[in-house]
Chains A and B, each alone.
Chain A
Amino acid sequence: MTAQQYETIIAIAQEGNLTRAAKKLGVALPYLSKQVQQIEQELGSPILDRIGANSRLNDVGKEIEQGAYELRYMEHQLQQEMIDLMGKSGGVLSIGTSAYRSVYQFPEILVQLSRKYKGIQIKLMEGPVETMEPMARQGIVDLAITAAPSGHPALVNRFLATEELVLAVPSHFGVCAPQSDGEDRCPELDLRQLRDLPFLFLNEGAALHQLARGLLADAHIRPAACLESKSLETIYTLVREGVGAALLPRTMMRNGPEGGALQFFSVKGRRLERDIYAIYRADSYLSLACQEFLSLFQRSLEKAV
């Protein structure tokens, strides 16, 4: 199998259809079909299940796909190591993250990083929380930033910092709270004021979902209408539109252009926070650029707290 053949298989796996795969690879469809035929001939087995217009990899194809990720990962690691050994900069750093971090937490850090490591190519792979672990495991990303540490034995969870959370409430809900003493602390809200008001949650499975549910349950509050979304970005937007209240990372409040439509609160007697981890393969080589990214990110999280 050649490198090109591996890439072909990955593209088909990701696109689920030959036409789109050809587009992604920048080749003509007949050429791609011919390539597939050739692979099938070499292996002596079909690699696709053709279902109408869609082509799904069969078990043989999937085996190659998994292998291709592994080879790509090893190759990528080798390149990183060689670059560091020779004191060069460049290479690729890919990071799995939720979209909200890309928007609210990364920009500054990435500017610094790319200044120090000229020629580096940073790939952000944004996705919902449940995709982070598989991406890290398959080596599709060098590391993933997540609030959900993994129990997988092949992965390392590296604690970075604790992230403070705040309650974001649309201003027109008319809840109010006395200013708190701490200069940097939000006013403390009596949760009972949220009774009968709609609340928005991150999808089940996310740490933030559990936290928010627990918080409301402890205060014996059943929110009026719940809405769940996969993305913190969406939730933030909906809160700003006045749809409901939500529990959000405090960084969103610092940087978000909410323009007075939102109020932020802490909760009396409770620290609202979650732990943030970087997860990556235990057998991986963390490039200098990667380590630099981690320490920059860690510092920025600590500063925010």
Chain B
Amino acid sequence: MMNQRHFLYIRTIAEERNFSRAAEKLYISQPSLSQSVKRIEAQYGVPLFYRSRGAVVLTAAGERYLQVGEKILKKEQDILFQVQQARDLQRGRLRIGVAPYRDCNILAPAVRAFQRQYPGIEIVLQETGQTEAENGLVAGNLDIALGMPPRKSSNLDFECLFHDRLLLSVSPAHWYFQVHQVQIKESAEGYPVIHLADMAQCDFILLTNRQVLRNMEDDLCAEAGFSPHIVVETKDVAAAHTMAAAGLGAAFLPESFLRFGRLEAPICYYQIDLPAHSIALGILRSLNQDFSPSAARFAAILRSTIQDISGRNAP
């Protein structure tokens, strides 16, 4: 098979048109160079040079050898690169940031699929807020994150995977429904639609102030024309949901929790009769460094699992 050294021999002889000058340039003896050329010619079964008294000239085969040889050597480089990529998938660490939900329902199927395919790679899940995820990617402490479009750093790339929206969840047995008129319309597409303004007097379980989702919750209530009475604040979306199910009040719930998660408490979900407040979620990565092979593979798996789930559970 072609090798770098042989190729260099032939090219140098072709350039110098003379065996001894070529040998000098290659720092080998002329007999040894001649021997090598003979071996290469024997290997292919054709002469690579015409040797005449004055000069050494490439044959047609020799010219082809140099043309194709370059491609072969380039190909070999490509192969070694591919091999290294495959090697990097054999072991190592993949650090994934999850924002903004402190819950990895969305990630679970992808993590499981990745783990099965690349058992040698240790997965580190870092459940963080959006800002921490952005900082982590920029600082190189995270390889990839699932989050919202970047707000702070322009060195990040965002690829939207799906749009999430907030639903209202409240127990159907909640006393509020007995006391207040609440307009609820059945909807052909998924959950019934609730007139949010009618919930003005209800107790609300909201997320703590520092989260993006909380801003959306506040905006929704403001648009509906009331400032909610907050009975509990929690950091945890799933906790808010459980409390709502227990009859404590109403809570906002990202629809992805229903699609991707397994929430089993008896509760009703309503679409909100206000313009869609949706939130884009997708893959965040740093533009400063190449995607590691494992991060690239994980991104591909995440794309397909999310597509899979959204397709299957779309209301």
Instruction: Give per-residue flags for B214-248: 1 if the beta carbon is below 8 A from chain A beta carbons, else 0.
Output: 00000000000000000000000000000000000
Contacts of B72 in A (CB 8 A): 71, 74-75, 78
User: Is there an interface contact between B75 and A85, defined as CB atoms closer than 8 Å?
Assistant: no
Is residue A273 contacting chain B, with contact meaning CB distance below 8 A?
no
Q: How far is the CA of A83 from the CA of B78 in the complex (A)?
A: 27
Nearest chain A CB to B7 CB, angstrom units: 12
Main SS of the interface on chain B?
helix
Q: How far is the CA of A62 from the CA of B86 in the complex (A)?
A: 9
A58-B90, A64-B83, A90-B45 known; A75 vs B59 contact (CB < 8 Å): no
Q: How far is the CA of A67 from the CA of B79 in the complex (A)?
A: 6
| Stretch among A41-49, A155-163, A250-258 lining the B interface | A41-49
Nearest chain A CB to B53 CB, angstrom units: 22
Is residue A106 contacting chain B, with contact meaning CB distance below 8 A?
no
User: Is there an interface contact between A59 and B90, defined as CB atoms closer than 8 Å?
Assistant: yes
Q: How far is the CA of A71 from the CA of B64 in the complex (A)?
A: 16
Q: How far is the CA of A74 from the CA of B89 in the complex (A)?
A: 28
Mark out the residues of chain B between 55 and 111 whose CB falls within 8 Å of any chain A CB in the assembled complex: 59-61, 64-65, 68-69, 71-72, 75-76, 78-80, 82-87, 89-90
User: Is there an interface contact between B83 and A63, defined as CB atoms closer than 8 Å?
Assistant: yes
User: Is there an interface contact between B1 and A82, defined as CB atoms closer than 8 Å?
Assistant: no
The listed residue with most B CB atoms (<10 A of its CB), out of A72, A82, A91, is: A82
Contacts of B69 in A (CB 8 A): 78
Contacts of A105 in B (CB 8 A): none
Is residue A164 contacting chain B, with contact meaning CB distance below 8 A?
no
User: Is there an interface contact between B1 and A60, defined as CB atoms closer than 8 Å?
Assistant: no
Residue of B nearest to A44 (CB): B87
Contact for B68 among A58, A63, A78, A83, CB less than 8 A: A78
Instruction: Give per-residue flags for A63-105: 1 if the beta carbon is below 8 A from chain B beta carbons, else 0.
Output: 1101100111011011101110110101100000000000000
Nearest chain A CB to B86 CB, angstrom units: 4
**A: number of interface residues (CB 8 Å):** 32
Q: How far is the CA of A231 from the CA of B1 in the complex (A)?
A: 35
Contacts of A77 in B (CB 8 A): 68
Q: How far is the CA of A2 from the CA of B4 in the complex (A)?
A: 10
Contact for A82 among B3, B64, B79, CB less than 8 A: B64
User: Is there an interface contact between A43 and B87, defined as CB atoms closer than 8 Å?
Assistant: yes
User: Is there an interface contact between B83 and A60, defined as CB atoms closer than 8 Å?
Assistant: yes
Residue of B nearest to A46 (CB): B90
8 sampled A-B residue pairs with Cβ under 8 A: A63-B79, A64-B83, A70-B75, A82-B44, A82-B46, A83-B44, A85-B61, A86-B60
Interface residues of A (CB under 8 A from B): 1-3, 6, 43-46, 58-60, 62-64, 66-67, 70-72, 74-75, 77-79, 81-83, 85-86, 88, 90-91
Interface residues of B (CB under 8 A from A): 1-3, 44-47, 59-61, 64-65, 68-69, 71-72, 75-76, 78-80, 82-87, 89-90
